[in-house]
Structures are given as structure tokens and as C-alpha cells.
Amino acid sequence: MRQWLRKKLPDHQAILGNRWLRPFSNTLLHPRLWHLNRHSAAGGVAVGLFCGLIPGPLQMLGAAIGAVVFRINLPLALLTTFYTNPLTIVPLYMAAYQIGRLVTGEGAGFVPPPHFVWPNLWAWCHSLLDWMLGLGKPLAIGLPLLAAGLALAGYGITKAGWRFYLVRAWRKRKKRRSLPKL
């Protein structure tokens, strides 16, 4: 897997050659941002999972800033944000709303959005805004809580998975070395 990643990732010359990335080359060329080990991988997954719940197109920017600040694997942090997509974002936001509702004690449950009414568009927009403001506090509290929970779970699972892989590789190597040579 490391060889495949090395082939896909840009090298230092590609970053220096890109006119948009050149001003950030000192930061982006830091070795810890591109090194893949169990600590940087777990951190990259955690930052990516946390930033994946940022609304709109700011997910990757947030993951890149988090990776630079914490000096963890940048490509993995960016790649992990793709767990949110048009199919998963609605269930994730509904789960965040429910978490926020449980924490704050507000709201009786999820209220569906108002039905679209074409002839009375202005009234529909006003009722949609009221509906969104009603979701505000539980969603605003639930999103960071869900993001933090996903980040902690991703960090722990990545660390445990990497550890499992290493122990298995060590045991295979030990078994292979203990076999008699012909």
C-alpha cells in the first residue's frame, strides 16, 4: 500500500512547480505531513473525520489546516473527509441533531421541512428559514459532539488496526525465522 501511495502522491518538485502552492511550499513540504506511520495515520483519520462534518466545501480546507497544525499525514486527512457525500450527509446531520436534542433537552423530535409551494414562494422561504432556525441549537451542539466522537473512534480504530497488523507481521516473521533451513 505504501508503494501505491507514493506513486499517487505529488513529489516536492510538483508542489514547487504549482504556482498556487508555491507560497505555502515551506509549510507543505514539511516531512511529517507526508510520512505515513501509525501516529500520523491515526491523526490524519481523526482530523479527516472531524472536518468531514464541516458544512459546505470547507471540509478539505479544514482538514488541510488541521493536518498542518498538528503535523499529521495530509493526504490521509484530505481523503478521509470523503466519508460525507450526498448519500451520507443527511443521516449524519440527523444523528447530530438527535445528539444535540438529547444534550440540550430541546425539541420533541425531528420535524420535516415545510412542503414546497410554488405559487407562494416567499411564504415558503420564510417558513423554511423558521424551520432551519428551529433546528439551530440542537444541530449546533450535536455537530461538534458527533464530529469529536467520530474523530476519537477513528483515531482508536486506526491505532488498533495498525497495531493488529504489526503484531500479525511480527508473528509471521518469527514463525518464518524459526523454521529449519534446508
Integer Cα distance of 51 and 67 in angstroms: 11
How many residues appear in the chain? 182
Q: Are 47 and 151 in contact (CB under 8 A)?
A: yes
The string of pLDDT tens digits covering residues 78-92 is 999 999 988 898 899
Integer Cα distance of 156 and 176 in angstroms: 30
**The three three-digit cell numbers of residue 136, written as one number:** 439551530
Sign of CA dihedral 144, 149, 150, 156: positive
Integer Cα distance of 83 and 175 in angstroms: 38
The pLDDT profile of the chain, 182 residues, written as one tens digit per residue, is 566 656 666 666 666 666 665 556 556 666 677 788 899 999 999 999 999 998 877 899 999 999 999 999 988 999 999 999 888 988 998 899 889 989 988 766 666 777 776 777 778 778 777 777 777 788 889 999 999 999 999 999 999 999 999 999 999 999 988 888 76
Q: Are 52 and 156 in contact (CB under 8 A)?
A: no
Integer Cα distance of 136 and 151 in angstroms: 23
pTM of the model: 0.75
Nearest to 103 by CA among 133, 50, 140, 134: 140
